[in-house]
Amino acid sequence: MGALDGRVAFITGGARGQGRAHALALAAEGANIALADAPRPMNLTYPLATEEDLRATAKDVEELGVLCLPIATDVRDADAVNAAIEETVRGLGGLDILVANAGVVSTGVLDEVTDEAWSQLMDTNLTGVFHILRAALPVMRQQRFGRIVVTSSMGGRMGIPELGAYNATKWGVIGLAKSVALEVAKDGITVNVICPTTVHTPMVQPVDSDGVPDELVQRMMRANPIPQPWIEPEDVSRALLYLVTDPGVVTGSVLEIGLGSSARLH
Ligand SMILES: NC(=O)c1ccc[n+]([C@@H]2O[C@H](COP(=O)([O-])OP(=O)(O)OC[C@H]3O[C@@H](n4cnc5c(N)ncnc54)[C@H](O)[C@@H]3O)[C@@H](O)[C@H]2O)c1
């Protein structure tokens, strides 16, 4: 018996990194999973997940004995997001858990951020979360049950030089999630936020073949009171699991998985 037997979870950015770890963690507790990923190309310094990655993760999830629906979806596209939620409800019979995890990063001092970089960040990290929440809420309201977790970042808890545009999106989703939490609190739906510090995923690019991270990541690591370079995706999945198995008493909260990085701030 798993804690999530019979539940249906929808995870954006589920093909790799934290989204993949979340899919495996929820599947290990018995949830059937829909994975949305493989977006249209973007102009970034690192590649995004492909449909092949999406199918490979779906296969790994199914090996845990649950159903998995891989759906090629770009969260920037509202129609595609609506269709993905409909396909999930049709294919898996409902929608109990939503993990709004898809995101991209780009760095740079603000006066060098291009319009294109700004739009990519806003359209994916902020508008993409709006699209998925708007599509999922009517289904959850009808069921009178829902557990929604939005992935922000420790960048949504503080200022960090060269991450102003990214951090604006990550502060933004916290305001969005807290406001929606109030709107749906009487409907059996909780909405919470997780804020990981630097996570060991393809988003955090090593500078050289020895895996030495770039200067910005190294600077963030040095600021961590717990002296380890980064956390693993599974560290974040444990926080997710806590929030989605909560009986319905925790909502509008922000859970930091931060290596102590905000301990000096508040
Ligand atoms: N890696 C870190 O250090 C770190 C720290 C804090 C927060 N985060 C956040 O965690 C989340 C997961 O990132 P990750 O670390 O697993 O990195 P990742 O790059 O491995 O995973 C992000 C996934 O989102 C997908 N994605 C990106 N844009 C998309 C779009 N428009 N539509 C659909 N899918 C899209 C990518 O293809 C990828 O599979 C992101 O929101 C990120 O901002 C990351």
Question: What pLDDT digit, counting tens, does each position of 159-192 carry?
Answer: 999 999 999 999 999 999 999 999 999 999 999 9
Pick the closest to residue 180 from 252, 120, 96, 249 (CA basis).
252
Higher pLDDT, 222 or 202: 202
Q: How far apart are CA 125 and CA 160, in angstroms?
A: 17
Please list, residue by residue across 165-175, b when 16 or more beta carbons sit within 10 angstroms of its beta carbon and e when fewer do: bbbbbbbbbbe
Best mutation site among 20, 22, 37, 152 for ligand 1 pocket (most ligand atoms within 8 Å of CB): 37
Token match 């291009």: residue? 114
Q: Give the distance (Å) from ligand 1 centre to CA of residue 123.
A: 13
User: 207: pLDDT confidence band, cut at 50, 70 and 90?
Assistant: low
Please indicate whether residue 146, judged by its CB atom, sits closer than 6 Å to ligand 1: no
> What's the pLDDT at 235?
98
Q: Does the CB atom of residue 213 touch ligand 1 within 6 A? A: no
Q: Is the CB of 76 under 6 A from ligand 1?
A: yes
Q: How many CB atoms lie within 10 A of CB 73?
A: 29
Residue with tokens 């508008």: 127
Q: Residue 166 catalytic? A: yes
Q: If you average pLDDT over residues 139-161, what whole number do you get?
A: 97
What is the reported pLDDT for 222? 78
1: CA distance to ligand 1 center in Å? 31
- What pLDDT score does 217 carry? 78
Residue 208, pLDDT above cutoff 70: no
pLDDT confidence of 209, banded at 50, 70, 90? low
* Lateral strand order in the sheet of 146-151: 68-72, 32-37, 8-12, 97-100, 146-151, 189-196, 254-257
Nearest to 164 by CA among 172, 128, 264: 172
High-pLDDT (> 90) share of the chain, %: 88
Q: Is the pLDDT of residue 206 over 80?
A: no
Mutation test of ligand 1: which of 48, 167, 173 has the most ligand atoms closer than 8 Å to its C-beta?
48
The CATH topology of domain 8-257 is Rossmann fold (3.40.50)
Supply the residue whose CA is at minimum distance from atom 42 of ligand 1: 103
Mean pLDDT over 43-70 rounds to: 97
Ligand 1 centroid to residue 184 C-alpha, Å:
26
Q: Looking at residues 152-158, what average pLDDT do you find?
A: 96
Which of the two residues, 114 and 212, has the higher pLDDT score? 114
pLDDT at 212: 73
Measuring from atom 3 of ligand 1, which residue has the nearest CA? 198
Nearest CA to ligand 1 atom 38: 13
The share of the chain scoring above pLDDT 70, in percent, equals 98
Is 49 a residue whose pLDDT tops 70?
A: yes
pLDDT tens for 73-116 read 999 999 999 999 999 999 999 999 999 999 999 999 999 999 99
Q: Residue 106's pLDDT is what?
A: 95
Nearest atom in ligand 1 to the alpha carbon of residue 217 is: 3
Separation CA 102–CA 179 (nearest Å) = 20
Catalytic residue among 10, 145, 166, 171: 166
Task: Evaluate if residue 133 carries a pLDDT over 90.
Answer: yes
User: What's the pLDDT score for residue 221?
Assistant: 77
